[in-house]
Amino acid sequence: MSESIKVSEIFPASAKKLYTSWLDSKEHTAFTGSKTDISPQVGEHYHAGNGYIHGSIISLQPYGRMVLSWRSKDFPDGVRDSKLEVLFEKSNNGTRVTLIHSDIPDGQAKMYEKGWKDHYFKPMKKYFRNHK
């Protein structure tokens, strides 16, 4: 059994800025406040959240969509990676970022939904207000 979540927020920045920042180690570290190693190439492995999260880049559609394999240190042994789809859509006030996180181990979805909001969306709102 697995679970899925969908979270969305509008940020005061362009889709290009948000997309390129997500795939840049320095910018990703800056907007989350935790160490991230990532590069914008399909097949590349990444680490985020000071090593709490890791996975690989499955597909990239510049400024519109990315798909990543994703797992945290809280995943049970033997459980496959989850899938994270990140969508960037123009909005009147900037860009809507939607995260569709699927194949989450049973019982962990609420924890990750809170984590996306607290450790990504909240600091991203603050960061991109000043770094458009």
Q: Domain of 105: which CATH number?
A: 3.30.530.20
Ranges of the chain with pLDDT below 70: 132
- Say how far apart CA 51 and CA 91 lie, in whole Å: 32
Could you give the residue ranges of the DSSP H alpha helices within the chain? 15-22, 25-32, 109-116, 122-130
Residue 60 vs residues 57, 85, 88: alpha-carbon distances, Å = 8, 10, 12
> 99 lies in which domain range?
2-130
Q: What does the pLDDT read at residue 132? A: 66
- Say how far apart CA 121 and CA 31 lie, in whole Å: 9
Helix, strand or coil for residue 122?
Answer: helix
| Count of the separate structural domains present in the chain | 1
Q: What does the pLDDT read at residue 93? A: 86
Q: What does the pLDDT read at residue 27? A: 96
CA 31 centroid distance within chain: 11
